[in-house]
Amino acid sequence: MATTTVPPTPLKKVNRIGLEQVDYKGNKTTLCAGCGHNAISERIIEAFYEMGVEPSRVVKLSGIGCSSKSPAYFLRSAYGFNAVHGRMPSVATGAMLANQHLIAVGVSGDGDTASIGIGQFVHLMRRNLPIIYIIEDNGVYGLTKGQFSATADVGSKLKTGVINDLPPIDTCALAILLGATYVARSFSGDKRQLLALLEGAVAHYGTAMLDVISPCVTFNDHEGSTKSYSYVKDHESPLEDVSFVPFFEDITVDYDPGTTTEITLHDGSRMLLKKLDNDYDPANKSEALRVLTEAHDKNEVVTGLFYVDTKRESFIDQLNLVDEPLATLPESRVRPPKSALDEVMESLR
Amino acid sequence: MGITEVAICEAESPSEPKRVVNDMSIQVATVNGSGSQTSNLVLLRAIFQMGIPVSGKNMFPSNIAGLPTWFTIRTSRQGYIGRRKEIDLLVAMNPETVEEDVLSLEPGAAVVYDERLDAKKFRDDLIFYPVPFDKLVAPVCPDAKLRKLVRNMIYVGVVAKLIGVDMDEVEKALRKQFKKKVKAADLNFAAVKAGYEFADKSLVKQDHYWLERMNLNEGKIMIEGNAAAALGAMFAGVTVVTWYPITPSSSLCETLIDYMKRYRIDPETKKATFAIVQCEDELAAVGMVIGAGWAGARSMTATAGPGISLMAEFVGLGYYAEVPGVIFDVQRVGPSTGLPTRTAQGDVLTTGILSHGDTKHPLFFPCSPAECFTMAIEAFDLSEVLQTPVFVMSDLDLGMNIWMSDPFPYPEKPIQRGKVLTAEDLDRLGGFQRYKDVDGDGIGYRTLPGTRHPAAGYFARGSGHDERAIYSEKPDVYVNNMDRLARKWETARRLAPGPVIEEGGDGGIGIIAYGTTHWAVVETLDQLKREQGIEASYCRLRAYPFSDEVIDFIRRHERVYVVEQNRDAQLRGLLRLDIDPGLSKKLRSVRHYDGLPIDARSVTDAIVAQEVEAHRDAPEEVQA
B271 and A321 within 8 Å at the Cβ level: the answer is: yes
Chain B closest-CA separation from residue A26 CA (Å): 11
Q: What is the mean pLDDT of chain A?
A: 94
The amino acid present at B114, given as its one-letter code, is D
Domain-located, residue B439: yes
Domain-located, residue B5: no
DSSP-assigned beta bridge partners for residue B55: B74
Does B386 lie in the same domain as B241? yes
Question: From residue B538, how far is each of B64, B318, B397 by CA, in Å?
Answer: 41, 34, 22
In 3D, which of A161, A176, A175 has the Cα closest to residue A284?
A: A176
In 3D, which of B569, B554, B563, B481 has the Cα closest to residue B516?
A: B563
Does B31 lie in the same domain as B60? yes
Distance, in Å, from the CA atom of B158 to the CA atom of B163, rounded to the nearest integer, reads: 9
Residue B619 has pLDDT above 80, yes or no: no
Average pLDDT over residues A188-211: 97
Under 8 Å between Cβ of A117 and A63: yes
So what's the pLDDT on residue A3?
59
- Closest B-chain CA to A68: B461
Q: What is the mean pLDDT of chain B?
A: 94
So what's the pLDDT on residue A253?
81
**Backbone phi and psi for residue B326, each to the nearest 5 degrees, phi listed first:** -115, 130
Does B176 lie in the same domain as B246? no
Assess B233–A contact: CB distance below 8 Å, yes or no: no
Residue A331 has pLDDT above 80, yes or no: yes
Distance, in Å, from the CA atom of B405 to the CA atom of B225, rounded to the nearest integer, reads: 10
Neighbours of A308 (CB within 10 A): 23
- Closest A-chain CA to B406: A345
Provide the sign of the torsion angle of the four alpha carbons A155, A157, A161, A162, taken in this order. Answer: negative
Does B378 lie in the same domain as B309? yes
So what's the pLDDT on residue B617?
74
A276 band by pLDDT with thresholds 50, 70 and 90:
confident
Residue B402 has pLDDT above 70, yes or no: yes
Does B387 lie in the same domain as B446? no
Q: Which of A76, A79, A85 to mutate to test the interface with B (most CBs of B within 10 A)?
A: A79
Does B427 lie in the same domain as B359? no
The domain that holds B83 is classified in CATH as: 3.40.920.10
pLDDT-wise least confident of A204-208, A256-260, B581-585:
A256-260
So what's the pLDDT on residue B32?
87
Domain-located, residue B9: no
Does B476 lie in the same domain as B530? no
Average pLDDT over residues B67-92: 95
Does B252 lie in the same domain as B197? no
Assess B283–A contact: CB distance below 8 Å, yes or no: yes
Q: Return the percentage of chain A with pLDDT > 70, whole number.
A: 98
Q: Return the percentage of chain B with pLDDT > 70, whole number.
A: 96
A91 and B288 within 8 Å at the Cβ level: the answer is: yes
In 3D, which of A73, A77, A42 has the Cα closest to residue A59?
A: A77
The whole domain housing B29 covers 19-210
Does B348 lie in the same domain as B364? yes
The amino acid present at B413, given as its one-letter code, is K
Distance, in Å, from the CA atom of A62 to the CA atom of A42, rounded to the nearest integer, reads: 17
Residues 307-336 of B with CB under 8 A from A: 313-314, 317, 321
Which of helix, strand or coil describes residue B90?
A: strand
Distance, in Å, from the CA atom of B548 to the CA atom of A277, rounded to the nearest integer, reads: 78
Chain A closest-CA separation from residue B186 CA (Å): 21
Residue B295 has pLDDT above 90, yes or no: yes
Chain B closest-CA separation from residue A32 CA (Å): 18
Residue B556 has pLDDT above 80, yes or no: yes
Does B480 lie in the same domain as B531? no
DSSP-assigned beta bridge partners for residue A148: A140
Assess B431–A contact: CB distance below 8 Å, yes or no: no
Domain-located, residue B107: yes
Distance, in Å, from the CA atom of A198 to the CA atom of B154, rounded to the nearest integer, reads: 69
What's the pLDDT tens digit per position in B561-578? 999 999 999 999 999 998
Q: Which of A103, A326, A332, A343 to mutate to test the interface with B (most CBs of B within 10 A)?
A: A326
B9 band by pLDDT with thresholds 50, 70 and 90:
very low
B623 band by pLDDT with thresholds 50, 70 and 90:
very low
Chain A closest-CA separation from residue B39 CA (Å): 18
Name chain A contacts of B239, Cβ cutoff 8 Å: 98, 326-327, 329, 334
Domain-located, residue B11: no
So what's the pLDDT on residue A2?
54
B239 and A120 within 8 Å at the Cβ level: the answer is: no
Does B169 lie in the same domain as B289? no
Chain B closest-CA separation from residue A105 CA (Å): 13
Helical segments of B117-272, H only? 133-140, 144-163, 167-178, 182-202, 225-236, 250-263
So what's the pLDDT on residue A252?
83
Distance, in Å, from the CA atom of A44 to the CA atom of A24, rounded to the nearest integer, reads: 9
Can you spell out the DSSP letters for B132-143?
Answer: -HHHHHHHH---
So what's the pLDDT on residue B2?
35
Q: Domain end: B495, B527, B548, which one?
A: B495
Give me the residue spans of the domains in chain A: 21-327
Distance, in Å, from the CA atom of A125 to the CA atom of A266, rounded to the nearest integer, reads: 18
Does B297 lie in the same domain as B373? yes
So what's the pLDDT on residue B297?
98
So what's the pLDDT on residue A162?
93
Average pLDDT over residues B142-162: 94
Task: Count structural domains, chain B.
Answer: 4
B6 band by pLDDT with thresholds 50, 70 and 90:
very low
Assess B357–A contact: CB distance below 8 Å, yes or no: no
The domain that holds B384 is classified in CATH as: 3.40.50.970
Distance, in Å, from the CA atom of A265 to the CA atom of B399, rounded to the nearest integer, reads: 48
B615 band by pLDDT with thresholds 50, 70 and 90:
confident
Most confident range (mean pLDDT) of A270-284, B60-74, B264-278 is: B264-278
So what's the pLDDT on residue B8?
41
Name chain B contacts of A90, Cβ cutoff 8 Å: 279, 283-288, 290-291
Residue B33 has pLDDT above 90, yes or no: no
Distance, in Å, from the CA atom of B283 to the CA atom of B424, rounded to the nearest integer, reads: 36
Of B275, B294, B295, the CB nearest to A321: B275
B281 and A80 within 8 Å at the Cβ level: the answer is: no
Average pLDDT over residues A147-154: 94
What's the pLDDT tens digit per position in A28-54? 999 999 999 999 999 999 999 999 999
The CATH number of domain A21-327 is 3.30.1180.20? no
Distance, in Å, from the CA atom of B416 to the CA atom of A236, rounded to the nearest integer, reads: 56
Residues 368-407 of B with CB under 8 A from A: 407
The domain that holds B576 is classified in CATH as: 3.40.50.920
Domain-located, residue B3: no
Distance, in Å, from the CA atom of A168 to the CA atom of A151, rounded to the nearest integer, reads: 4
**Backbone phi and psi for residue A72, each to the nearest 5 degrees, phi listed first:** -75, -15
Neighbours of B341 (CB within 10 A): 21
Which of helix, strand or coil describes residue A241?
A: strand
So what's the pLDDT on residue A4?
64
So what's the pLDDT on residue A277?
72
Average pLDDT over residues B250-272: 97
Residues 154-193 of B with CB under 8 A from A: none
Residue B3 has pLDDT above 60, yes or no: no
Under 8 Å between Cβ of B519 and B80: yes
**CB contact set of B343 (below 8 Å; sequence gap of 6+):** B248, B331, B332, B333, B395, B396, B397, B516, B565, B595, B596, B597
Q: How does strand A270-275 pair with strand A240-245?
A: antiparallel
What pTM was computed for the model? 0.95
Q: Is 0.90 exceeded by the ipTM?
A: yes
A119 and B280 within 8 Å at the Cβ level: the answer is: yes
**What interhelical angle do B144-163 and B182-202 show, nearest 10?**
50
